[in-house]
Amino acid sequence: MEKLKYTILIDYVLGILRIARQEKPSMYASLVQTLQIMKQKFTFGEIQELGKYLEARGWAKLVFPWGDVRAQITTAGMVYLDEKKEDFNKEFVEFLGQLHKEKKSEKDLILTLFNETDDPKITIGGLLDNLKEKIQEKEGKGADTIKDLEVIKLELSKNDPDFRLIENKLNNLSKYSFISSEIQELKDYIPV
């Protein structure tokens, strides 16, 4: 599916959040899952920004569990959608129809949003492994930066990780320009 314009994307996200609220009024839907279902590719940082925009406009309430962004449409968001022209509703129904081709029903589609997203520890572990390979290519296997990554990975494997320690290690790694984008992506996933 082609990438949607932001204005349309926001409207469709709100439309899905409205349906989700009708199905389960007290639950928060995963924006990560929402965008995956919509076949829209965004980085985790971009998804956080999108959520913060919805919250700043007053259209959604957010919670940020580790590795996810969860949203619930507000009354202001419902009113915003109600004020949309009839054309929007037709376009949104057509868009949902395209999504239905892969899901059994609208209810199944929406209930997917309430499932837990992929375990963030697995995602972060993959990011750390890729980062380790990149550092090994540049500095070799015995580099201190590799040991810092191992400390981060070990700390994240705990039930109650020390995020201050992780933040310090990530900040130390940030000084290496050849891995700065990877470090920023890790910081997006980890609440530091």
Does 86 lie in the same domain as 69? Answer: yes
List C-alpha distances in Å: 119 to 96, 139, 176, 189.
27, 30, 28, 11
What H or E segment, with its residue span, contains residue 103? none
Give the number of domains in the chain: 2
Predicted confidence pLDDT, tens digits, the chain (192 residues) = 678 899 999 999 999 999 888 888 888 888 988 888 888 888 888 999 999 999 999 999 998 877 788 999 999 999 999 998 777 888 888 888 777 665 556 566 666 555 544 566 777 888 888 888 988 888 877 778 888 889 988 888 887 888 889 889 988 888 888 888 888 888 877 766
Per-residue tokens: 121 = 């520890």
Does 99 lie in the same domain as 12? Answer: yes
Within a 10 A sphere around the Cβ of 15, how many other Cβ atoms? 21
Does 23 lie in the same domain as 86? Answer: yes
Among the listed residues 144, 154, 146, the one whose alpha carbon sits nearest the alpha carbon of residue 124: 154
Interacting residues of 63 by C-beta distance below 8 A, sequence separation 6+: 28, 70
Last residue of a domain, one of 85, 114, 143: 114
